[in-house]
Chain A
Amino acid sequence: MKTLAFATVLPGRTVYLRDLLRELVIREMKLQYKSSLLGVAWSLLNPLLQLLIFTFLFRVVMPLGIENYPAFLFCGMLAWTWFQISLVQATNAITGHRELIRRPGFPAPMLPVITVTTNLINLLLALPLLLVFVLISGGELKWTALLLPFLMLLQFIFTLSLAYFLATVNVIFRDTQHIIGVVLQLMFFVTPVFYSGSRYPEKYQPILKLNPMLHIIGAYRDLLLYGKIPNLATLGVIAAFAVLFLFLSYKVFISMRDRFVEEL
């Protein structure tokens, strides 16, 4: 339909997209911690405070009997937080960035990527703390920890696929952002973030195990705490579905893109 000749503009479109991603992620980080006294320290303080409360709850008040609980919890919490905050923010990725969407030449598909990346960086900032936790609590890091980037890539794709979908739907139905908040809150309790999936009663297991985050969080624990290779077959299936769904929801996003400008 329309040909925009950008060829002469840049050494490469990829350089442009990389610069843009970096600049906008920095912008998001700045916005997140703008006018907060402790700044980036919050990305560490927040999980630490949660850690404190949950450890108190499930070690002292209602003991779950999980060995090395703080590290176990931290693992689940970091992965889950990345997932949850990304989706909540991604739902608002289009509707909340009207000023960018209406700029000539702004690539709208970047927005969900920016959201997921920004939260990945928050995770990476807290990751050293987790490693310290693992070591302090007597665990040891095995070589399997080096596989972490692959697992993160998987989670990135999985989260992004949902992010495109939610961002698009929210343009049409603005209450998606409220619904997703509630749904994710419930999911937090159903997903074994602060407890072990093995505690599920037998008869509910088949349903509950359909939750991809259960396996992803489990894989984090396998790599970091137990030093073993996670179930690759399951992760492979999740990866395949994530890629497929990413493709589909990206298509939906692109086909609805023209309406963004009008609806905003």
Chain B
Amino acid sequence: MNDAIVVENLGKRFRRLHTDRPGSFKEAVLRGFRNLRLQEEFWALRDVSFRVPPGKMVGIIGQNGAGKSTLLRLIGGVGQPNEGEISVNGRIGALLDLTTGFHPDLTGRENVFVSGVICGLTRREVSERMDEIIAFAELEKSIDNPIRTYSTGMQMRLGFSVAIHTDPEILLIDEVLAVGDMAFQQKCLARIQEFKARGCTILLISHDLSQAKQFCDEVIWLRAGQMVARGTPEVIVGEYVAELASETRRRTPASMPEVHTPDGTELRVNENRFGSMEMEITAVRLFDANGLPTREILSGQPLSVAIEFKTSRPIQHPIFSVSISCESGFICFDANTAEQNLKLPIIDQCGRIVLHFERLDLAGGKYFVDAGVYEKDWAYGYDYHWHAYPLEIRAPKSQGVLRPPQLWELSDLAKDMETVDGSLRPKLLEQLGAKL
């Protein structure tokens, strides 16, 4: 069987335009045609080789600038490699970046026509599929408005819809999927799975590592244009995450003035505090239902975690995370602003971000609230406080971690429970609800 994609010793060199290179005749003439060749060159990709058999889904991970998008473009035939070879067997459907192929002044429908024909459909095929394309993109209402009136999410939906309705044998998808809302993302992923089952080969760039683990058969990890590793998603993603963590450790300054948390715990760099300190967490405060500072709550009561931070320089869209862990280090709860698709603005001064729990149903015991702030792509941590903020949950002593609302009810099996299908009778469930 022929491989769908074969990449051999691929190398792509980019010229970084020298700031002194003239960009127009005027400048060229004024400088007497000097500096015309002054350019820096760098390898965006080097020595990358892999094969993808048909019907496989491969994820590409790596930090920004690692060459992921360049790789996808080259496979899509946009630009030529400087070294090595790419061979692609099959019709390509691609969603490389949002603006491709759409003209802002034309309507969605007109753009679909042009895009479809560029992808290799005939005019008739496009008109036959038009309704399907519009339906999948959920754009029935706005399809006859100019693209410039669309949100990025809408453009992404239309782009994706066109790409999958051109009978692709190979799908190339850059992380544009992240633009859509969660429901549409799920729909896209479901459709991608369907294509895969039909034997379509898929190459996907993803920042969502859990997505990569869940869906891909294989993951390729790129770092600075080189292929670091390739293999089973679990393993490669694990290694990648480990490297990010060590990157944080590497960037942690060797010495910092001693700092104490508001309740006296000493923060020591590389013991309970990690990060590059470009942005600092100055305090993490816990508040109870009445908005008063607290260190202990009853199980099932509300809790607010406030992170106060400061920065000396503007930080682009940082990610905040909060986790609650047991003394043993076991993480009972973990949340961050990125998973909620909450894109924070550029932060250039001090501020506060608060996470509210409507109720915290943890079993009684001693816990720690850990808080961190990370670079916008999780590349490394700015500041992370580990096991510095104790939290005591009061509840009757028990094993386990969770303590959701509960109710014991004793009854006579013959009288109160009908075991027709083994389910509880609605009446009993209602009672349960009322008592809570």
Contact = CB atoms under 8 A, between A and B. Distances in A.
Contacts of B80: 1-2, 257-258
A6 B15 CA distance: 30
Interface in B70-125: 73, 76-81, 85-92, 94, 96-97, 99-103, 105-106, 110, 113-114, 117-120, 122-123
A181 B26 CA distance: 16
Contacts of A100: 101, 118
Contacts of A258: 79-80
B78 A261 contact: yes
A5 to B, nearest CB: 5
Contacts of A99: 99-103
Given A8-B90, A103-B78, A104-B96, A173 B119 contact: no
Contacts of B77: 2, 4, 104-105
A173 B118 contact: no
Contact of A2 (B14, B85, B118): B85
Nearest to B126: A23
A105 B28 contact: no
A79 to B, nearest CB: 29
Nearest to B93: A104
A262 B103 contact: no
Contact of B94 (A3, A20, A104): A104
Given A105-B119, A258-B79, A261-B79, A174 B110 contact: no
A262 B13 CA distance: 10
A257 B97 CA distance: 20
B237 interface: no
A104 B106 contact: no
A56 interface: no
B100 A103 contact: yes
A228 interface: no
Given A5-B87, A258-B80, A261-B73, A103 B25 contact: no
B8 to A, nearest CB: 11
Contacts of B419: none
B120 A105 contact: yes
A143 interface: no
Nearest to B80: A258
Interface residues on A, range: 35 or more
B422 interface: no
B148 to A, nearest CB: 11
Contacts of B28: 173
Contacts of A179: 25
A176 B90 contact: no
Contact of B24 (A6, A16, A174): A174
A185 B238 CA distance: 64
A35 B106 CA distance: 10
A19 interface: yes
B14 A19 contact: no
A30 interface: yes
Interface string B230-272: 0000000000000000000000000000000000000000000
Interface in A1-58: 1-6, 8-10, 15-16, 19-20, 22-24, 27, 30-31, 34-35
A106 interface: yes
A103 B105 CA distance: 18
Interface string A98-140: 1111111110000000000000000000000000000000000
B172 A27 contact: no
Contacts of B89: 5
A100 B118 CA distance: 9
Given A27-B103, A262-B15, A5 B88 contact: yes
Interface in A171-191: 173-176, 179
Interface of B: 14-15, 23-26, 28, 73, 76-81, 85-92, 94, 96-97, 99-103, 105-106, 110, 113-114, 117-120, 122-123, 172
23 contacts: A2-B85, A3-B85, A4-B88, A5-B88, A5-B90, A6-B91, A8-B90, A20-B117, A20-B118, A22-B123, A23-B113, A23-B123, A24-B117, A34-B105, A103-B94, A104-B78, A105-B76, A105-B77, A105-B92, A173-B25, A174-B23, A258-B79, A262-B14
Across the A-B interface, give the 9 residue pairs with the lowest CB-CB distance, nearest first: A104-B76, A261-B79, A175-B24, A23-B117, A258-B80, A104-B94, A9-B91, A103-B100, A173-B25
